[in-house]
């Protein structure tokens, strides 16, 4: 018996999500414009109840959703995940008034959320951020830039992390909920290797007040880390979903494709490669599930296990997709092929929400603590 196994109800739910992803969400994704928010896709996620479930389920449910959707439609997975990432600080740390204003809009897919942490000079080193919050008439004025923000500049509101106390490092950061129509807030899209929107934001004295704070003043870094600790295993689940899609395509291709007098699967070198891909994918999946289950149980060492799950799963997915492309040959690099799509999609998760090197640093720090 495996060390970790899903309940039959969970397995059935995952199968249902894979079918929905391929049959209902994929056609909507294909009608969308690359680099733009696909609002009909978001509306469908809301209608299916998946956006609402984001905020009423645990970490394991989040992982199962992301893995299952990614298998059939990475765009649907990403749209769901970005709504969760941008809104999770509101759910965990927002006031009743903030939640009443925005949660119904998010869960129906009418409002688009964004998580605005990264800056031109503070990506993985989030504690070094410099977006300044200068005191002003009982509130603050935000001045500076954010960069590589998913859903920018099309989001309807942003979870923004700004420096309210100079020289305090992580202890001087405050999280704010900033509606997109605030005066002084502008954004531009960035042309990235990604089908979803990514942009840069400029803050020219954007006004915020105490009613816009998420959590407590100067405690925003903890808001960010709580969100990332929840979402890091699910980034791994996204990667596992892509790896499984690549693996499934490779099994089918090598069973059907003839070369050197027989199907590719009869070549030991090919069969062994596929076996290795399958083993790595399953190992990554189990670590992701274990990390998510530990988070749900409130177990100690969440930062370490979350980092391990994201590290192993994203690196594994890169390897599996690359091997799948190699075994498919030139056809896999043709525009529109599943593996051409996955080859582009699989690279970014090794960087965002803490690059691979950052995950290794977190793990090592925990080991030597």
Could you give the CA distance from residue 68 to residue 49 in angstroms, rounded to a whole number? 15
What local confidence, expressed as pLDDT, does residue 2 receive? Answer: 41
Question: Largest Cα–Cα distance of the chain, in whole Å?
Answer: 80
User: Of 47, 353, 357, 366, which residue is the catalytic one?
Assistant: 353
Count of other CB atoms within 10 angstroms of residue 260: 8
How confident is the model over 153-208, as pLDDT tens digits?
Answer: 999 999 999 999 988 888 899 999 999 999 999 999 999 887 789 999 999 999 99
Would you put residue 301 in left (φ > 0), alpha (ψ -120 to 50) or beta?
A: left
Query: Which sequence spans correspond to the domains of the chain?
Result: 8-107, 113-218, 222-367
Could you give the CA distance from residue 64 to residue 173 in angstroms, rounded to a whole number? 32
What local confidence, expressed as pLDDT, does residue 27 receive? Answer: 96
Measured between alpha carbons, how far apart are the two ends of the chain, in Å? 34
Is there a contact between 339 and 327 (Cβ–Cβ < 8 Å)? no
CATH annotation of 222-367: 1.20.140.10
CATH annotation of 8-107: 1.10.540.10
Active site residue 353: yes
Question: For all residues of the chain together, what is the average pLDDT?
Answer: 93
Helix residue spans in the chain (DSSP H) = 8-20, 26-31, 39-47, 50-54, 59-72, 74-93, 96-107, 220-256, 268-297, 302-328, 338-345, 356-367
Q: Indicate the helix (H) or strand (E) that contains 258.
A: strand 258-259
What local confidence, expressed as pLDDT, does residue 128 receive? Answer: 81
**What single string gives the DSSP state of each residue in 326-362?**
HHHGGGGGSTT-HHHHHHHHTTGGGTTTS-HHHHHHH
222-367 has the same fold as 113-218: no
CATH annotation of 113-218: 2.40.110.10
Give the closest residue to 59 by CA, choosing from 297, 225, 244, 304.
Answer: 297
What local confidence, expressed as pLDDT, does residue 124 receive? Answer: 64
Structure tokens at 59: 């970490």
How confident is the model over 60-90, as pLDDT tens digits?
Answer: 999 999 999 999 999 999 999 999 999 999 9
Intervals of the chain under pLDDT 50: 1-2
CA 171 vs CA 10, 61, 138, 141: distances in Å? 40, 32, 21, 19
């Amino acid at each position: 018996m495996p060390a970790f196994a899903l309940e039959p109800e969970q397995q059935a739910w995952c199968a249902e999500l894979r079918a929905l992803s391929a049959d209902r969400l994929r056609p909507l994704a294909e009608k969308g414009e690359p680099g733009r928010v696909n609002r009909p896709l978001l509306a469908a996620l809301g209608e299916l109840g998946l956006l609402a479930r984001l905020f009423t389920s645990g970490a394991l449910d989040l992982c199962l959703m992301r893995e299952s959707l990614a298998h059939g439609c990475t765009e649907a997975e990403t749209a769901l995940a970005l709504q969760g990432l941008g809104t999770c600080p509101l759910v965990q740390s927002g006031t009743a008034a903030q939640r009443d204003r925005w949660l119904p809009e998010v869960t129906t897919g009418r409002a688009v959320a964004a998580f605005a942490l990264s800056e031109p000079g503070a990506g993985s080193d989030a504690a070094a951020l410099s977006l300044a919050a200068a005191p002003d008439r009982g509130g603050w004025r935000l001045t500076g830039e954010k960069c590589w923000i998913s859903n920018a500049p099309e989001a309807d509101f942003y979870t923004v992390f700004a420096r309210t106390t100079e020289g305090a490092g992580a202890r001087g950061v405050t999280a704010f909920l900033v509606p997109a129509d605030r005066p002084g807030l502008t954004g531009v899209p960035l042309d990235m290797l990604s089908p979803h929107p990514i942009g840069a934001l400029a803050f020219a004295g954007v006004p915020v007040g105490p009613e816009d704070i998420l959590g407590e003043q100067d405690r925003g870094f903890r808001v960010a880390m709580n969100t990332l600790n929840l979402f890091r295993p699910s980034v791994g689940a996204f990667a596992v979903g892509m790896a499984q899609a690549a693996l499934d395509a490779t099994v089918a291709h090598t069973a059907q494709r003839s070369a050197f007098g027989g199907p590719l699967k009869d070549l030991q070198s090919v069969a062994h490669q596929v076996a290795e891909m399958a083993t790595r994918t399953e190992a990554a999946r189990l670590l992701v599930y274990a990390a998510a289950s530990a988070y749900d149980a409130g177990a100690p060492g969440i930062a370490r296990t979350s980092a391990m799950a994201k590290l192993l799963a994203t690196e594994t997915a890169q390897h599996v997709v690359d091997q799948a492309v190699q075994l498919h040959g030139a056809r896999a690099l043709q525009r529109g092929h599943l593996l051409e799509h996955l080859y582009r999609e699989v690279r970014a998760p090794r960087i965002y929400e803490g690059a691979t090197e950052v995950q290794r640093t977190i793990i090592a720090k925990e080991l030597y603590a």
